[in-house]
Amino acid sequence: MGEAINTSEILSATGVDLFYGAQMAVRDAHLSVARGEVVAITGQSGSGKSSLLYCLAGVLPPARGDVRFEGRSLTRLGDDEISGLRRERFGFVFQYGELLPELTIEENTALPLRLAGQRKGPALAAAGAVLERLGLGELRERRPSQVSGGQSQRVAVARALVHRPAVVFADEPTGSLDSANATAVLEEFLGLARSQDTAVILVTHDPAVAARADSHYTMADGVLAPREATA
């Protein structure tokens, strides 16, 4: 993986171990992510992919090793600083989208901006622009129960990117979609992320999805290993 497009590192893990009680979930993980890089992680169920994401996002502190964002060790930050980072510099997409049912599509999308303190008008305008870009402009006023599965996944993508985060953590972001929809949503997701230089850590079961990433790692029994570039 010598021919990195962009050598400026945004996120790194060195020697990360994570346990749940006595159960080891991540073992000695090393990872370096450049600004704007798309990193895919594949591996069997239970291999530790989500656990690694939680460590990288500062949600679970590792038992050993270090995670750095922009050179700063997450383990040395206080709770407020970590929450601030998660709110303002990170974005998240989960398997089932997880939109808030009582908010409209537009309000759901604007949430990260509102949480970061932006006023309602500008936040909704920015959300509307991202929704438009993902072909969802017409759905703005609807509630999550009034849109399809594929559409709610697209809204989750819009919400994860609306505040132009430095890194998006995506755990099976298209896991609940059929393959045609999954491919379309993923293309939009990666296109938007690349256009704003957002790095993406993408956990997926799908090798075809992983093949679209800049780099590809696999996980087995808690051990993360780089995979040679797909032919």
Ligand X SMILES: Nc1ncnc2c1ncn2[C@@H]1O[C@H](COP(=O)(O)OP(=O)(O)OP(=O)(O)O)[C@@H](O)[C@H]1O
- Contacting residues toward ligand X, per CB under 6 A: 20, 23, 25, 43, 45-51
CA distances from 41 to 131, 213, 215, 218 (A): 27, 9, 9, 5
Q: How many CB atoms neighbour CB 171 within 10 A?
A: 19
Asked if 50 touches Mg ion (CB under 5 A), the answer is yes
Options 49-57, 80-88, 120-128, 134-142: segment touching Mg ion (CB under 5 A): 49-57
For ligand X, the closer of residues 42 and 198 by Cβ is 42
Q: How many CB atoms neighbour CB 205 within 10 A?
A: 14
For ligand X, the closer of residues 47 and 104 by Cβ is 47
Strands (E) located in the chain: 9-20, 23-34, 38-43, 64-69, 72-73, 90-93, 167-171, 199-203, 215-220, 223-226
Cβ 51 to ligand X shortest distance, Å: 3
Cβ 122 to ligand X shortest distance, Å: 36
Options 15-23, 47-55, 140-148, 205-213: segment touching Mg ion (CB under 5 A): 47-55
Cβ 95 to Mg ion shortest distance, Å: 8
When CB distances are held under 5 to 8 angstroms depending on the partner's kind, the choice from Mg ion, ligand X, none that residue 46 binds is ligand X
Residue that has been written with the tokens 């000695």 in this structure = 28
Question: Rule CB under 5 A: which residues touch Mg ion?
Answer: 50
